[in-house]
Amino acid sequence: MLFDHKSVHIFESLYDGVLIANKEGVVQYVNESYLRITQTLKEEILNLPLEETRPGSKLSEVIRTGKPIRHLRRKVGEVEYFSNLVPIYDKGEVIGGVSISSEITDVQSLMKKIKDSESMISQLQQTVSQHYQAKHRFEDIVGVSDKIKQAKLKAEKFSIGVSPILITGESGTGKELFAQSIHNNSNQKNGPFIAVNCATLAGELLESELFGYEAGAFTGADEKGKIGLFKSAHGGTIFLDEIGELDIKFQAKLLRVLQEKKVRPIGSTKEVAIDVRVISATNRSLLKMIENGQFREDLYYRLSVFEIDVPPLREREGDIAVLTDYFCAPLVFPLELKKILEQYDWPGNIRELKNTIKFCTELSDGKPITLEDLPRKFHQFGARGRTFYERPLKDFINEQEKNYIQQLLSKYGEDTEGKKKIAEILGIS
């Protein structure tokens, strides 16, 4: 990832000129200061190869060799300036280059500019290397059960390619963990990984975030415009979490982007080509939503070329104990307490288990963990040595009802149609 929309705001505020090119030598960005200093028009250089627009460009050499060129003096008309040219690295590989150009007024000013420019280059390199990275890999998916092994094997197989992947599973099962692992095992691993929660943004706001907008496109828009997340994800992966929450009208716009592989920023008449792999995830039944007219069938088939179902924790035999040890380390979680945890259905899945272990370890304050350190809902399982099945019938039934309803909500959703279906299954009105 060379830069993102947050970095653009920083670059545009600089008095020094900034030009960024990708590893092919195609100019990806220039700020207004660069255009002023070099007396160049944006359309004469942006999205064009340096070899065509800047014959003899030293930045192409920097990208090719990986070696910086500093304090290069240049002159355009009456304007004299110097440039520092450095490669941009990501995980040890050159992914582009940046030119920082400063006007020369006198020797003292020149020396100060050299120092400031080098500091800015250092900050720029740090910025571009930190944004939008996937942290997790397949080895971070902990588990010994057959079901989780099968899901990992399928994900590893699907990761090699560019086809869209749909990840399904209940809340808290680790769908984003799978998405990040797929990205880091793919041919897009050197590109950005951008995660978007579709449930947190309304239709119009989501459109501006994903597709971007031109300056003055609407009331309240940034006067400099905004690069959308699809464009920021160019060469990498965009992860659309909770895809089932998309507004039906916006689904048509997303479908067009997936079909055409182009985005049109709000307020623009031009489309921008993108090279992005799409991974989406949901805890809802999209097929059921299609039946209810809540999700487009054509979009579903576009998103689910490959599909991975992440199993709930209650179906992962042996994994509760393994995950408990993983989350508890370096402390030791007693075996008898693990058995209590294994008797619970975990409607919140791994997220709930992780929070439970965190609760225990913080409450124990470094001392051996006991039953009293567990959240209250687990105390009845261990009271007077009783097991899960040796407790009052009323408690057992209440627990089962709660977990069953939670499973139905995860499957059919909490909207009106989902609740109607659940009521029908339960035989209540």
**Looking at the structure, do residues 280 and 429 belong to the same domain, yes or no?**
no
For the domain that residue 79 is a member of, what is the CATH number? 3.30.450.20
Give yes or no for a contact between 281 and 243, defined as CB atoms under 8 angstroms apart: yes
Dihedral angle computed from the Cα positions of residues 120, 121, 125 and 127, in that order, rounded to the nearest 10 degrees: 20
Count of structural domains within the chain: 4
Residue 111: φ, ψ to 5°: -65, -40
For the domain that residue 242 is a member of, what is the CATH number? 3.40.50.300
Kindly list the averaged pLDDT for each block of 10 residues, start to end, along the chain of length 429.
69 88 92 91 92 86 92 84 89 88 66 64 51 84 96 97 96 97 94 91 83 74 78 93 94 95 90 94 97 97 98 96 93 90 93 95 87 85 47 63 74 79 81
Cα–Cα distance list, 415 to 206, 299, 409, 412, 422 (Å): 21, 21, 9, 8, 11
Among 293, 309, 325, residue at a domain's last position: 309
Give yes or no for a contact between 25 and 49, defined as CB atoms under 8 angstroms apart: yes
For residue 377, the enclosing domain spans: 315-389
Whether omega for the bond prior to residue 330 falls within 30 degrees of 0, making it cis, is yes
Give yes or no for a contact between 224 and 205, defined as CB atoms under 8 angstroms apart: no
For the domain that residue 382 is a member of, what is the CATH number? 1.10.8.60
CA atoms within a 13 Å half-sphere pointing along the CA-CB vector of 89: 9
Which segments of 236-348 does DSSP mark as H helices, in order? Answer: 248-260, 286-291, 297-303, 319-328, 335-342
What are the contacts of 411-416 at 24+ separation with CB within 8 A?
Answer: 411/285, 412/284, 412/285, 412/288, 413/244, 413/284, 413/285, 413/288, 413/289, 415/294
Closest CA to 166 of 4, 309, 360: 309
**Looking at the structure, do residues 211 and 179 belong to the same domain, yes or no?**
yes
Q: What are the residues facing 279 on neighbouring strands?
A: 165, 239
**Looking at the structure, do residues 301 and 353 belong to the same domain, yes or no?**
no
Neighbour tally for 171: CB within 10 Å: 16
Alpha-carbon gap, residue 67 to 86, rounded angstroms? 7
Listed in sequence order, the residues at least 6 apart from 195 whose beta carbon sits closer than 8 Å to its beta carbon are 176, 179, 239, 241
Give yes or no for a contact between 194 and 235, defined as CB atoms under 8 angstroms apart: no
Alpha-carbon gap, residue 211 to 228, rounded angstroms? 4
Q: What are the residues facing 69 on neighbouring strands?
A: 85
Alpha-carbon gap, residue 208 to 266, rounded angstroms? 7
> Which of helix, strand or coil describes residue 22?
strand
Closest CA to 98 of 49, 13, 29, 10: 29
Alpha-carbon gap, residue 59 to 99, rounded angstroms? 7
**Looking at the structure, do residues 15 and 105 belong to the same domain, yes or no?**
yes
Radius of gyration of the chain (CA): 27
**Looking at the structure, do residues 156 and 287 belong to the same domain, yes or no?**
yes
Among 276, 309, 342, residue at a domain's last position: 309
Crossing angle of the two packed helices 393-412 and 416-426, in degrees rounded to 10: 140
Give yes or no for a contact between 85 and 101, defined as CB atoms under 8 angstroms apart: no
**Looking at the structure, do residues 148 and 294 belong to the same domain, yes or no?**
yes
Find where tokens 């997303």 sit.
254
**Looking at the structure, do residues 89 and 46 belong to the same domain, yes or no?**
yes
* Length reported for the chain: 429
**Looking at the structure, do residues 79 and 147 belong to the same domain, yes or no?**
no
**Looking at the structure, do residues 238 and 364 belong to the same domain, yes or no?**
no
The encoded tokens of residue 339 equal 């058995």
* Number of H-type helices and E-type strands within the chain: 18, 14
> Which of helix, strand or coil describes residue 306?
strand
Among 96, 130, 164, residue at a domain's last position: 130
**Looking at the structure, do residues 42 and 18 belong to the same domain, yes or no?**
yes
**Looking at the structure, do residues 173 and 278 belong to the same domain, yes or no?**
yes
Closest CA to 201 of 214, 192, 212, 210: 210
**Looking at the structure, do residues 209 and 322 belong to the same domain, yes or no?**
no
